[in-house]
Amino acid sequence: MSGDGQVGIVLVSHSREVAVAVAELARGLAGGGTTAPVAAAGGTPDGGLGTSSELITRAAESVDAGAGVAVLVDLGSAVLTVKSLLAEGDELPEGTRLVDAPFLEGAVAAVVTASAGGDLDAVTAAASEAYGYRKE
């Protein structure tokens, strides 16, 4: 993994529509200018609910600019699918990391941080810190 480019973000949801909507929201909240590459990997290839290693792999490849790829997931089997791909070692781009973060808030924090030029560690930290966002 080189330091070229921005960190890419992959959003994995059991629903294509949810993944796409969260990606659009995160891009919109990242503000003006060029945002980091973001790809949605939602649902199954036939449009159903679930997760797809094929869609996740394609999404990760599409956002890989050499600075790493942060993968955020919505629910349990999405975590297992990404962990399985990471364990295989050659399915995802070098420098791909599963991020333990809330899906929506973490996605926004990750895209904002990556768009500002943050490295993979900074993107991961920003997304993970979203667990602490208080709403009261």
- Catalytic positions are 14
CA dist., res. 116 & res. 65, Å (int)? 15
Neighbour-count burial for 45-73, b at 16+ CB within 10 Å, e otherwise: eeeeeebbeebbbebbbebbbbbbbbbbb
CB atoms within 10 A of CB 42: 27
Q: What are phi and psi of 40, to 5 degrees?
A: -95, 135
